[in-house]
A and B are shown apart, each in its own frame.
Chain A
C-alpha cells in the first residue's frame, strides 16, 4: 500500500508547491520602504512650473501618491478609478508625473481627467529612484507622520481599493 501512497504524497506536495509558485507574481517585489518615512522631496509642479511642491507640506494628513506617466498604458486602466476616488473626496491624491514631457502630460490629463490635488514633475526620475519606483503605475499610501504605510504596484483595481487601500486609509484617518 505505502508503495503507492508515498509517490502520490510526494506528487501532491510538488503540485501544491507548483500551484503556489504559479499564483505568485514575480513582478511584485515587496518594497523595503513600507513602514519607513517617505523620502522627502521638493519638485516643480506640473501645471505651474514656477511653483514648488514639498512633500513636507503633507505632514498631518493621510494622502496617496500615485506615480503615473502619459507613456504608461496601464495608467489608463486605473485612471477612471482614481478620478472617481477623487470625486468621493475620501483621500487627497497627489500625482508624481514620472519621466514625462510636460505638454504631453498636461494633454493626457485634459483627455482622461485630472484626479490630482497637485501633480509633481519628476522629469529625470530621481524622486522615483528614492521611492523605489521600477514600473508605472505605482501608488503609495502615506500617513499623517509621513510614513509610507502601503505600496501598490501596478494599476489600482476596485478589489485592491476595497480590500486594502480604503480600509487602511480609514484606519489611518481614525
Chain B
C-alpha cells in the first residue's frame, strides 16, 4: 500500500517536473539521463550520495542532487565524486559548490544577516501572536469589569427573583 503510494507520488512529481519544463522558456534537461549505476567504489558512492542528499538540484528545485535525474545533477555528482577521489573533505566540496551556485544549493541554509528573517521570522510571528493575545485578553477583562451592574439594576434583579420564588 505505502509502496504504491510512494510510486504514485513519484509519478506525480515526475509529471510536475515535465509540466514545469514545458512552462519554463528555458531549456532544462530534466529527464535527460538515468543516474549512472554505483561506481567502482561503493563506499565512495555512499559518501557522495550522503552529501548530495543535502544539496539542492538547481534545475529540478524540489529534488536533491542525489535524487535528481537531471543532466545537471549528474554532472555535479560526477564533480563531487571526483573531488572525493582527490581526497577533498565534505566541507571543502560544499564550499566549492556554494562559491559557484550560492547558498541556494544548501537545503540547510547558514545563519547570517541575510537569513535572519528566515531563521527567526517564525519566532517573531509567534511572539507577535502571544503579545496580541495577551493585550486582547487584558483589554477584555477591563471591559468585563466596567460592565458590572449598577446598584439600581441589582435591586431590580433581586425583586424579580423574589417575585419568581413566590410563584
Q: How far is the CA of A108 from the CA of B102 in the complex (A)?
A: 32
Nearest CB in chain B to that of A26: its residue:
B61
Write the B23-59 contact mask toward A (1 if CB under 8 angstroms, else 0).
0111111000000000000000000000000000011
Establish whether residues A135 and B28, one from each chain, have CB atoms under 8 Å apart when the complex forms. yes
Give B61-111 interface residues, CB cut-off 8 Å to A: 61, 71-72, 75-76, 79, 98-104
Indicate the member of B27, B61, B71, B75 with the most A CB atoms within 10 Å.
Answer: B27
A-chain residues with CB within 8 Å of residue B99 when the two chains form the complex: 32-33
A-side interface residues, number (CB < 8 Å): 30
Cα–Cα, bound, A69→B28 (Å): 11
Which of B24, B27, B75, B102 touches A29 (beta carbons < 8 Å)?
Answer: B102
Beta-carbon contact of A134 and B58 below 8 Å: yes
The answer on a CB contact under 8 Å between B75 and A125 is: yes
CA distance A115 to B60 in the complex (A): 31
A71 with B27: CB separation less than 8 A: yes
User: Chain B residues with Cβ under 8 A from A99's Cβ?
Assistant: 71
Give the chain B neighbours of A74 by CB distance below 8 A.
25-27
| Chain A residues within an 8 Å CB radius of B103 | 32
* A-B CB pair tally, cutoff 8 Å: 62
A129 interface residue (CB < 8 Å to B): yes
Q: Quick check: A154 and B100 within 8 Å, CB to CB?
A: no
Inside 8 A of B101's CB, which chain A residues have their CB? 29, 31-32, 132, 134
Q: How far is the CB of B33 from chain A (nearest CB, A)?
A: 11
Among A31, A72, A134, point to the contact of B72 (Cβ < 8 A).
A134
Within residues 85 to 139 of chain A, which ones have a CB less than 8 A from any CB in chain B? 99, 124-126, 128-132, 134-137
Enumerate chain A residues within 8 angstroms of B76, measured Cβ to Cβ.
Answer: 129
Which residues A65-79 have CB closer than 8 A to chain B? 69, 71-75, 77
Contact at A135–B59, with CB atoms within 8 Å?
Answer: yes
A30 proximal to B (CB < 8 A): yes
Kindly state whether residue A155 has any CB partner on chain B within 8 Å.
Answer: yes
Q: In the complex, which residues 26-47 of chain A have their Cβ closer than 8 Å to any Cβ of chain B?
A: 26-27, 29-33
Of the listed residues B24, B72, B76, B100, the one surrounded by the most CB atoms of chain A closer than 10 A to its CB is: B100
Contacts of B75 in A (CB 8 A): 124-125, 128-129
Is B26 a contact of A32 with CB atoms below 8 Å?
no
Give the nearest-CB partner of B24 in chain A. Answer: A27
Contact B79 A129 (CB under 8 A): yes
In-complex Cβ contact of B100 among A30, A32, A75 (8 A):
A32
Instruction: Select from chain A the residue with minimum beta-carbon distance to B71.
Output: A99
Residues of B within 8 A of A (CB): 24-29, 58-59, 61, 71-72, 75-76, 79, 98-104
Chain A interface residues (CB < 8 Å from chain B): 26-27, 29-33, 69, 71-75, 77, 99, 124-126, 128-132, 134-137, 153-155
> 7 tightest CB-CB pairs across the interface, nearest first?
A72-B27, A134-B58, A132-B100, A32-B102, A135-B26, A29-B104, A74-B26
Q: List 9 A-B contacts (CB under 8 A).
A: A26-B61, A27-B24, A69-B27, A74-B25, A77-B25, A129-B76, A132-B101, A134-B59, A155-B26
